[in-house]
């Protein structure tokens, strides 16, 4: 059914390994957000609020209505027993800083460095090393006893995970032709939603199982271990493909290019980003990415706070997987089809329409109670997540193949620095209004803003294409006029 299946068995095998690698990347990244409540209560950091005490019978009033310690413990059930507790809720500056800047800053800066390294080095070996390193950091999180332990290991996670998508996207671009690249990128990006969904399974049910009395610690151990095995498999079985374009600027060889100064190596990578259309694509992707980060790091907290008796894992263990995976694959499939008829701008139209259509469903997610809020997440994910593979396909088609890895790394640097730090806006908005209002602004609101920015990108891209077409046709017209004049003279 899919075009990328026509390229042969081995490229598809490599694509499957890259998918599993990305799955572990996302699982290890987001498991912190799922176990943050019991973790914060044991390590003692972050904000406190009135929470439901699940060991006692609930009472007539919601615990989150209490705004102070004394108010909280004064709420009694029919037996005259307090059914609420004033405890760490897993939110606050310490959590948002650890989830966002501590991870994102090193993740994005290392991505730039790794991208340059990959343009002149063996990408599959570096991918295997990165996978091994971030898996080790995740595994060690199961043994922390202080907040600063988590900070150091989260920092290490960022270093390792920076090597995933730049290497993988470059390998995919060399293994698959342009006609199948969007679908291949969409398939690869299934890893986002599979890993994120598995985080809810492991984080909720493994913690609840309380294996050997270690609770949430086993979640980190289980998430980290598979990476040790997969890194060896990638190292042994994946072949480094020939690059689709070996020539470098000025006709120089790749060995010469690798010895150039950092300034000279930055220039060919940054030059495409001077294009207004590519800059706008990065800005639109950053705003849209912000909504994804805000929801990913606050979904569990949101349901824990407003619907404490709801089994979140029952729903979010499969909804992101089904909806998100269908969305990225459908987006790539559609954009690959329409690009054959209408060119690059057709991919951008997919971005504009999908994000605007997804926003009303997301408003409903935050407005309604279970199970309706969860059911609305299905169409929201299918439509809203079409952007991931499409934007990467647009990017790799607009940059030279020889700097494709570093260009992807620079693109991720931009969208993750802006989008990845957006969760820092949650605590102040939460303090001013409420967590629900903060998410209204930063979740569906960013989808609408991103759609408008993608529309602006479309207009600028069309203008650039008309200008380039005019510049290319001008010499041809001059040559035609010259031939016509010579013909008149001869007659």
Give the per-residue pLDDT at 468. Answer: 63
pLDDT bracket for residue 256 (50, 70, 90)? very low
Is it the case that residue 427 has pLDDT exceeding 80?
yes
User: Residue 259 above 50 pLDDT?
Assistant: no
CB 230 within 8 A of CB 24: yes
Structural tokens at position 90: 């897993």
pLDDT for 5: 52
CA dist 452 and 457 (Å) reads 9
**Predicted TM-score (pTM) above 0.85:** no
pLDDT computed for residue 400 by the predictor: 76
pLDDT of residue 19: 92
Q: Between 479 and 426, whose confidence is greater? A: 426
pLDDT (0 to 100) of residue 252: 35
> Exposure string (b/e) for 296-306, b if CB count within 10 Å is 16 or more?
bbbbbbbbbbb
Residue 431 has a pLDDT of 86
Q: Which residue has the higher pLDDT, 441 or 185?
A: 441
CB distance 201 to 33 below 8 Å: no
Determine the pLDDT at residue 169: 79
Residue 309: is its pLDDT beyond 90?
A: no
Q: How confident is the model at residue 463 (pLDDT cuts 50, 70, 90)?
A: confident
* pLDDT mean across residues, the chain: 82
Q: Nearest Cα to 414, choosing from 276, 293, 283?
A: 283
Residue 253: pLDDT band by 50, 70, 90 thresholds? Answer: very low
Phi then psi dihedrals of residue 383, to 5 deg: -80, -45
What is the percentage of the chain residues whose pLDDT exceeds 70?
Answer: 83
> What separation in angstroms does the CA of 221 have from each of 23, 140, 157, 335?
16, 7, 14, 39
**Mean pLDDT confidence for 15-38:** 93
Judge whether residue 451 has pLDDT over 90.
yes
Which is the CATH superfamily of the domain at 3-47+89-241+257-476? MFS general substrate transporter like domains (1.20.1250.20)
Top-confidence residue, 392 or 227: 227
- Give residue 420's pLDDT band: very low, low, confident or very high (50, 70, 90): confident
Dist. CA 424–CA 442, nearest whole Å: 11
Report pLDDT digits (tens) over 263-301.
566 676 677 777 888 889 999 999 999 999 999 999 998
Q: What is the pLDDT of residue 324?
A: 80
Q: CB within 8 A of 261, min separation 6: which ones? A: none
- The predicted pLDDT at position 257 comes to 38
What value does the mean pLDDT take over residues 257-266? 51
Query: What per-residue confidence (pLDDT) applies to 479?
Result: 47
Report whether pLDDT(94) > 50: yes
On the question of pLDDT at 376 being above 60, the answer is: yes
Residue in the block written with tokens 């004033």: 86
Give yes or no for residue 335 having a pLDDT over 90: no
Q: Where are the domains of the chain?
A: 3-47+89-241+257-476, 48-88
Three-class DSSP labels, the chain: CCHHHHHCHHHHHHHHHHHHHHHHHHHHHHHHHHCHHHHHHHHCCCCEEEEECCCCCCCCCCHHHCCCHHHHHCCECCCCCECEEEEECCCCHHHHHHHCHHHHHHHHHHHHHHHHHHCCCCHHHHHHHHHHHHHHHHHHHHHCCCHHHHHHHHHHHHHHHCCCHHHHHHHHHHHCCHHHHHHHHHHHCHHHHHHHHHHHHHHHHHHHHCHHHCCCHHHHHHHHHHHHHHHHHHHHHCCCCCCCCCCCHHHCCHHHHHCCCHHHHHHHHHHHHHCHHHHHHHHHHHHHHHHHHHHHHHHHHHHHHHCCCCCHHHHHCCHHHHHHHHHHHHHHHHHHHHHHHHCHHHHHHHHHHHHHHHHHHHHHHHHCCCCHHHHHHHHHHHHHCCHHHHHHHHHHHCCCHHHHHHHHHHHHHHHHHHHCCHHHHHHHHHHHCCHHHHHHHHCHHHHHHHHHHHHHHHHHHHHHHHHHHHHHHHHHHHHHHHHHHHHHHHC
Task: Check pLDDT > 60 for residue 362.
Answer: yes
What is the torsional sign of CA 149, 151, 152, 156? positive
């Amino acid at each position: 059914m899919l075009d990328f299946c026509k390229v042969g068995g081995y490229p598809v095998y490599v694509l499957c390994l890259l998918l599993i690698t990305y799955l572990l990347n996302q699982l290890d990244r987001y498991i912190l957000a799922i176990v943050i409540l019991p973790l914060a209560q044991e390590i003692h950091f972050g904000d406190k609020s009135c929470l439901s005490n699940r060991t006692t019978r609930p009472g007539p009033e919601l615990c989150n209505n209490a705004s102070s310690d004394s108010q909280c413990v004064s709420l009694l059930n029919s037996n005259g027993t307090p059914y609420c507790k004033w405890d760490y809720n897993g939110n606050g500056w310490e959590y948002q800083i650890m989830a966002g800047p501590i991870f994102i800053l090193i993740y994005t800066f290392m991505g730039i460095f790794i991208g340059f390294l990959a343009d002149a080095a063996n990408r599959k070996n570096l991918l295997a090393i990165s996978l091994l390193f971030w898996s080790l950091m995740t595994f060690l999180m199961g043994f922390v006893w202080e907040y600063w332990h988590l900070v150091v290991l989260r920092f290490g996670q960022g270093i390792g995970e920076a090597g995933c998508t730049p290497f993988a996207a470059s390998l995919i671009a060399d293994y698959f032709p342009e006609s199948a690249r969007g679908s291949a990128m969409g398939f690869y990006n299934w890893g986002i939603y599979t890993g994120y969904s598995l985080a809810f399974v492991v984080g909720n049910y493994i913690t609840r199982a309380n294996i050997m009395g270690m609770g949430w610690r086993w979640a980190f151990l289980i998430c980290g271990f598979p990476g040790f095995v997969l890194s060896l498999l990638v190292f042994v079985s994946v072949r480094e493909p020939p690059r689709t374009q070996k020539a470098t600027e000025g006709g120089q060889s790749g060995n010469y290019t690798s010895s150039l100064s950092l300034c000279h190596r930055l220039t060919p990578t940054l030059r495409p980003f001077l294009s207004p259309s590519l800059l706008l694509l990065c800005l639109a992707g950053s705003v849209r990415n912000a909504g994804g980060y805000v929801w990913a790091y606050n979904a569990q907290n949101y349901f824990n706070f407003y619907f404490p008796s709801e089994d979140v894992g029952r729903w979010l263990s499969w909804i992101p997987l089904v909806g998100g995976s269908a969305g990225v694959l459908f987006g790539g499939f559609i954009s690959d089809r329409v690009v054959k008829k209408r060119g690059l701008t057709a991919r951008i139209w997919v971005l504009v329409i999908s994000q605007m259509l997804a926003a009303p469903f997301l408003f409903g997610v935050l407005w309604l109670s279970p199970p309706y809020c969860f059911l609305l997440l299905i169409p929201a994910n299918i439509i809203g997540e079409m952007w991931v593979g499409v934007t990467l396909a647009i990017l790799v088609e607009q940059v030279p193949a020889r700097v494709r890895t570093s260009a992807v790394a620079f693109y991720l640097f931009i969208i993750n620095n802006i989008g990845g730090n957006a969760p820092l806006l949650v605590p102040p908005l939460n303090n001013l209004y409420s967590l629900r209002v903060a998410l209204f602004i930063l979740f569906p609101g960013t989808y609408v803003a991103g759609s408008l920015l993608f529309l602006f990108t479309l207009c600028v891209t069309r203008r650039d294409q008309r200008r380039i077409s005019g510049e290319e046709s001008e010499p041809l017209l001059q040559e035609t006029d010259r031939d016509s004049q010579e013909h008149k003279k001869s007659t």
